[in-house]
């Protein structure tokens, strides 16, 4: 059985959010076209779903400042916590390539997967009252194309790996990345 996955070069993620927008544009995640919301005169992010996002962390004291960027999404784990948490078997892992998917018809919106996933991948959709997440652009990879995010990555930090080596799960993971032993994520990293 093959396993699809990600290779993320931490020294090359530039925090440009091209992957975030690529995902949004390709997958039409909600809201597809909506103004921001106002509460008490301040703009608020609308309820929105992103299957991929960039984690920005910063610290230090002037002038010794640091800032890091890590692109993040569903890691299509080898032992997915979401799958195990789902009471209605809505979540499956494809035998042929290990892609983890949520069946929208079976999902009952209990959000157990949202709590179970150590990487924040499952996204709650207030409108449908169901959970969605990164599909690894299954409709693209099934046709021999790459996922939208990896296609566009400007810094060449994010690479789609069609034959991920399960033994490399979570290799060189950055600080704060959940223990790879928990779910065996199909993502490995290159150190900064």
Distance of closest approach, residue 89 Cβ to other proteins, in angstroms: 12
Distance of closest approach, residue 179 Cβ to other proteins, in angstroms: 27
Q: Closer to other proteins at the Cβ: 85 or 152?
A: 152
Distance of closest approach, residue 72 Cβ to other proteins, in angstroms: 14
Q: Closer to other proteins at the Cβ: 81 or 107?
A: 107
Distance of closest approach, residue 121 Cβ to other proteins, in angstroms: 13
Q: Closer to other proteins at the Cβ: 81 or 153?
A: 153
Distance of closest approach, residue 130 Cβ to other proteins, in angstroms: 8
Q: Closer to other proteins at the Cβ: 72 or 135?
A: 135
Using CA atoms, how far apart are residues 22 and 7, in angstroms rounded to an integer? Answer: 17
Using CA atoms, how far apart are residues 104 and 170, in angstroms rounded to an integer? Answer: 28
Q: Closer to other proteins at the Cβ: 73 or 153?
A: 153
Please report, to the nearest 10 degrees, the dihedral formed by the alpha carbons of residues 163, 169, 171, 176 taken in order: 130
Q: Where are the beta strands (DSSP E) in the chain?
A: 5-9, 37-39, 42-44, 52-61, 64-73, 91-93, 100-102, 123-125, 130-132, 158-161, 187-190
Using CA atoms, how far apart are residues 176 and 119, in angstroms rounded to an integer? Answer: 10
Q: Closest Cα partner for 183 from 94, 96, 82?
A: 82
């Amino acid at each position: 059985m093959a396993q699809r996955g990600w290779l993320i070069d931490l020294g090359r993620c530039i925090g440009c959010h091209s992957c975030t927008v690529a995902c949004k544009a390709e997958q039409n995640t909600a809201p597809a076209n909506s103004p921001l919301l106002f509460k008490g005169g301040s703009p608020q992010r609308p309820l929105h779903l992103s299957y991929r996002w960039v984690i920005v962390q910063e610290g230090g004291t002037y002038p010794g400042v640091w800032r890091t960027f890590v692109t993040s999404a569903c890691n299509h784990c080898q032992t997915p916590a979401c799958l195990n948490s789902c009471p209605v078997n809505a979540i499956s892992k494809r035998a042929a390539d290990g892609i983890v998917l949520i069946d929208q018809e079976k999902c009952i919106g209990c959000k157990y997967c949202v709590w179970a996933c150590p990487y924040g991948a499952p996204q709650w959709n207030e409108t449908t009252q169901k959970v969605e997440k990164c599909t690894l652009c299954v409709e693209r990879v099934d046709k021999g194309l790459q996922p939208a995010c990896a296609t566009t990555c400007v810094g060449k930090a994010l690479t789609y790996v069609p034959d991920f080596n399960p033994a490399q799960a979570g290799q060189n993971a950055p600080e704060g990345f959940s223990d790879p032993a928990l779910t065996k994520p199909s993502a490995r990293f290159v150190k900064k």
